[in-house]
Amino acid sequence: MQQVAFAVLSLITLGAAIMVVTTPSLLRSALWLILAFFGIAGIFVLLNADFLAITQILVYIGAISTLMIFAVMLSSKVMDPHQPRFNEQWGLVGGFSALLFVALAAIVSRVVWPVAQGEVPVDTIQRLGADFVGPYVIPFEIASVLLVVAMIGAIIIARERE
Amino acid sequence: MINYLSDFFVNLARSWTAWISGFLPVWAVTVVNYVIVAVILVMMPVIATLTLTWMERKVIGRIQNRIGPNRVGPWGIFQAIADAVKMLVKEDIVPDNADKPVFNIAPILIAAAACLLWAVLPFGRNMIGADLNIGALYVIAIGSFTTVAVLMAGWSSNNKFALIGAFRVVAQLLSYEIPMVLSVAAVVLLVGTMRMGQIVELQTVPFVFLLPTTFLIYMLSAIAETGRAPFDLLEADSEIVAGYFVEYSGLKFGWFYIAEYGNLMAVAAIATTLFLGGWRGPGVAAVPALGPFYFAVKILVIVFVLMWIRGTLPRFRIDQMLGFAWKVLVPAALANLLWVAIVLKLPVPTALQWLLILAGNLITLVVALTLLGRAAKQYAARRGLVSA
Amino acid sequence: MVPLTWYLFLAAALFCIGVFGALSRRNAIAVLMGIELMLNAVNINLVAFWRYTDLGQMTGQLFAVFVITVAAAEACVGLALIITIYRQRHTVNVEELDTMKG
Amino acid sequence: MLPQYAFIAVFAIIAFALPIIGLIISWLIRPKKPNPAKNATYECGMETIGDTWVQFKAQYYLYALVFVVFDVEAIFIFPWAVAYNKLGLYALIEMILFVAVLVGGLLYAWRKGALDWH
């Protein structure tokens, strides 16, 4: 059952990802990207990481994709689908990506991964919350600073100057 | 017999499961039960549309000194069904330059999102689709799909009005999502769980009495999220004809309409669950079958108040509306959240903690209203609207 | 139960698609989309390793949350840059944005 | 945990099926008589001039920016809120710090007029 779910979700994810990088229309690319994010959220559920799945939907689909669609619409003239979507080196890059995949796949299948069996704890969210303010408090506070700095920077950059 | 009736719905489900287990394997029983529950819950937006449109026309009619629909059936109760039939058989027009696949998927996505909300709402004790670990966040995350569907509809129509409308709606949805998230977070902080079923179980006192201001913030953002008056400038027909779905007709328009009323009922249901004690009410411990009725009554009360607001208040302007979300609601919601956190760490008895939370809420409300009133006066004076 | 290697294969494939998108597209927003795909592939790996080797701690999930945070910050600034460049140059084609070249 | 999500998956399939079935039924029974005037873009009876995808104000983007930051912040607040009862006083202080930085950012955006509609 889980295998079937995994197969369906990875087909959705990979298919959508391929459409993202090949579709000429940028807005459709962004919509395929949303489908890919959704598939990945499903993969997280299969991995018993439900909080991350909802984070994926909330942040990637709700926030980052919206930002991307806005950016696509704000730079609208580039959406002309007649101009080439790839640069000249796309054949080379394609070959490189395929080679990279072969290499990664070889590594993944050769190495014997130390898999530990165990029950997934039921209180993962409490533990996440405790870890944010416990051992990971420095990254936690830095995340807040990073977000604010990014926001301030982006506002300075994107503001229309009168 | 009495025992069976007192928890009628749960017992009915048990008897049903026992009956089909007689001739079906275990996995098939699970699948059949999932499908039945899902079909019932998925119909909720459609049911909401059929009942609430009639109710809304009657209520608004009375407010405006009219009688509302009264031709189709007694008191016009079949008006909604007549409308549904009209939408079903109406010709569907797709504009020539539309991006057709995106244009067709947008209404499906928005209707599905409205349905998905009902999966985690408790109708009564043990009567919930799935009591997810992350229920409260799930409800918020589903809202993201609405944003995407609106952008898809606005862009694919290839119409300036639709696109401007979509941008406005999305700005509004994004701005009001944050106060909504923060007010839900205050409830989660108080009960220490995100399971919607458990939030109701632990609500011995409806949280509206502890967190009145948070409830108010939630309701204001919910009105804005569903795009109803006074926040309905996304379909301000005098300005942008009808907003992002101007090019839609027939049942595709129908799905936008159904999603709107489904969302209206859903936000009322979420508010009931989080703040009004959900299915709790007198005698519900002895007779759990009463739960769904209390739940429905509370939802209808909230929906009635929302209709009342719509019939009474004028429309906001977009700058006022977006400013209101970021400059009033977000700071107030953050202040409430942190105040709850501070009080929960004070070494005093629970009753006193609750009183302190209530007091803090009221202070936030007073401060927010005072600042708002002062800002409004300054604005009016600057514009020369009042004589100084 | 799905074996760990399946997840790793999925992540590897997704990463390579992301690399292809980031290096071959002409539009800067499309390049950013490729980068987001790569970050997501990394997240799948992090969570998969958490699930199969490290259930006692939450490190994998925590890392994934921080990766998402960084991705959000990156998208904010990156897209703001793209919008500004578009406003001044009327193009977001990465091949034409070479003013820094000596 | 997974059975609950199996239900959500079934639910999602049915939730998407419902509008699709409705559209198919309506497609079967409704009239189909397109003509060019009917299919033209709606614009108060006049032919549309120029590209629809005109440029929009960057103001919309600024709202989206502030939204993204607070949305990600919510991701940190919710687990903290769930775990809060079992944590010590340090949890409160650290969250106040976290929120203070964000409020600083909000105030900056407010000052710079990113929250005002021009």
Does A51 map to a domain? yes
CA dist A67 and A88 (Å) reads 28
On chain A, the residues whose CB falls within 8 A of the CB of B141 are 54, 57-58, 61-62
Please name the member of D26, D48, D82 whose beta carbon is closest to the beta carbon of B192. D82
- Give the closest-approach CA distance of A32 to chain B in angstroms: 11
pLDDT tens for C14-73 read 999 999 999 988 888 999 999 999 999 999 999 999 998 878 888 899 999 999 999 999
Write the single-letter amino acid at A75: S
pLDDT tens for D66-110 read 999 999 999 999 999 999 988 888 999 999 999 999 999 999 988
CA dist B194 and D78 (Å) reads 8
Q: How many A×B Cβ pairs under 8 Å?
A: 54
DSSP codes of every residue in A51-69:
HHHHHIIIIIIIIIHHHHH
Q: What's the pLDDT at A162?
A: 46
Does A44 map to a domain? yes
Does C71 map to a domain? yes
Look at residue A78 and tell me whether its pLDDT is greater than 50.
no
Please tell me the total count of domains within chain A: 2
Residue B305: half-sphere exposure toward Cβ, Cα within 13 Å: 13
Segments forming the whole domain that contains residue C67: 4-89
> Which residues does B299 contact at the CB level (< 8 Å), separation at least 6?
B265, B268, B269, B272
Q: What's the pLDDT at D32?
A: 76
pLDDT confidence band for A143 (50 / 70 / 90): very high
Contact flag C40-A40 (C-beta cutoff 8 Å): yes
Global pTM reads 0.91
Please name the member of A61, A124, A125 whose beta carbon is closest to the beta carbon of B148. A61
Chain A contact present for B144, CB below 8 A: yes
Please name the member of C19, C44, C73 whose beta carbon is closest to the beta carbon of A43. C44
Averaged over B310-330, what is the pLDDT? Answer: 84
Secondary structure percentages of chain D, helix, strand, coil, to 5: 70, 0, 30
C83 sits in which H/E element: helix C59-89
> Which residues does A41 contact at the CB level (< 8 Å), separation at least 6?
A53, A54, A56, A57, A61
Does A128 map to a domain? yes
Strand, helix or coil for residue C27: strand
Q: What's the pLDDT at B6?
A: 80
D-proximal residues of C, 58-77, CB under 8 Å: 65, 68-69, 72, 75-76
Write the single-letter amino acid at D107: L
The class of domain D2-111 in CATH terms is: mainly alpha
In CATH, what number is assigned to the domain containing residue C25?
1.10.287.3510
pLDDT tens for B71-107 read 777 887 888 888 888 888 887 877 777 788 899 999 9
On chain D, the residues whose CB falls within 8 A of the CB of A156 are 112
Averaged over B40-55, what is the pLDDT? Answer: 90
- Give the closest-approach CA distance of D101 to chain C in angstroms: 15
A89-93, B91-95, B118-122, B352-356: least confident range: B91-95
Chosen domain end from A51, A78, A105: A78
Contact flag A51-C61 (C-beta cutoff 8 Å): yes
Cα four-point dihedral sign A79, A83, A84, A88: negative
CA dist A30 and A68 (Å) reads 7
Averaged over A11-36, what is the pLDDT? Answer: 92
Q: What's the pLDDT at D106?
A: 92
- Give the closest-approach CA distance of A127 to chain C in angstroms: 7
Segments forming the whole domain that contains residue A43: 1-78
- Give the closest-approach CA distance of B373 to chain A in angstroms: 29
Please name the member of D5, D23, D116 whose beta carbon is closest to the beta carbon of B323. D116
Chain A contact present for B112, CB below 8 A: no
Token pair in block for residue B79 = 């008006």
Contact flag D61-A58 (C-beta cutoff 8 Å): no
Which segment, A21-30, A128-137, C35-44, is predicted with the most confidence on average?
Answer: C35-44
Contact flag D61-C80 (C-beta cutoff 8 Å): yes
Does C98 map to a domain? no
Greatest extent of chain B over all pairs of C-alpha atoms, in Å: 83
Percentage of residues of chain D with pLDDT beyond 90: 46
Please name the member of B102, B137, B163 whose beta carbon is closest to the beta carbon of A58. B137
Contact flag B148-A27 (C-beta cutoff 8 Å): no
Q: What's the pLDDT at B9?
A: 84
The domain locations on chain D are: 2-111
Co-location of A1 and A57 in the same domain: yes
Contact flag C83-D58 (C-beta cutoff 8 Å): yes
Co-location of A7 and A65 in the same domain: yes
Q: What's the pLDDT at C56?
A: 81
Contact flag D105-A151 (C-beta cutoff 8 Å): yes
pLDDT tens for B25-47 read 888 888 898 999 999 999 999 98
- Give the closest-approach CA distance of D59 to chain A in angstroms: 8
pLDDT tens for B122-167 read 998 888 888 888 999 999 999 889 999 999 988 888 777 788 788 8
Contact flag A51-B170 (C-beta cutoff 8 Å): no
Residue of higher predicted confidence among C92 and D100: D100
Cα four-point dihedral sign D25, D29, D35, D41: negative
Percentage of residues of chain B with pLDDT beyond 90: 38
pLDDT tens for B196-245 read 999 999 888 899 999 999 999 999 999 988 877 777 765 655 555 567 77
B214 sits in which H/E element: helix B212-225
Strand ranges (E), A39-149: none
Chain A contact present for B147, CB below 8 A: yes
Please name the member of B43, B246, B338 whose beta carbon is closest to the beta carbon of D99. B338
Q: Among D4, D5, D107, which would you mutate to test the A interface (most chain A Cβ atoms within 10 Å of its Cβ)? A: D5
Does C99 map to a domain? no
Which segment, A121-130, B53-62, B177-186, D56-65, is predicted with the most confidence on average?
Answer: B177-186
A-proximal residues of D, 39-58, CB under 8 Å: 51, 53-58
CA dist B115 and B39 (Å) reads 10
ipTM confidence score? 0.91
Q: What's the pLDDT at B388?
A: 47
Please name the member of A51, A55, A144 whose beta carbon is closest to the beta carbon of D102. A144
- The answer to whether chain C touches chain D by having 3 or more C-beta pairs less than 8 angstroms apart is yes
Greatest extent of chain C over all pairs of C-alpha atoms, in Å: 56
Chosen domain end from A46, A78, A110: A78
Contact flag B102-A125 (C-beta cutoff 8 Å): no
Does C52 map to a domain? yes
Please tell me the total count of domains within chain C: 1
Averaged over B343-370, what is the pLDDT? Answer: 91
Does C96 map to a domain? no
Averaged over A43-50, what is the pLDDT? Answer: 92
Among candidate residues D79, D81, D78, D105, the one with its CA nearest the CA of residue D92: D81
Residue of higher predicted confidence among D57 and D75: D75
Please name the member of B155, B185, B241 whose beta carbon is closest to the beta carbon of D78. B185
- The answer to whether chain B touches chain D by having 3 or more C-beta pairs less than 8 angstroms apart is yes
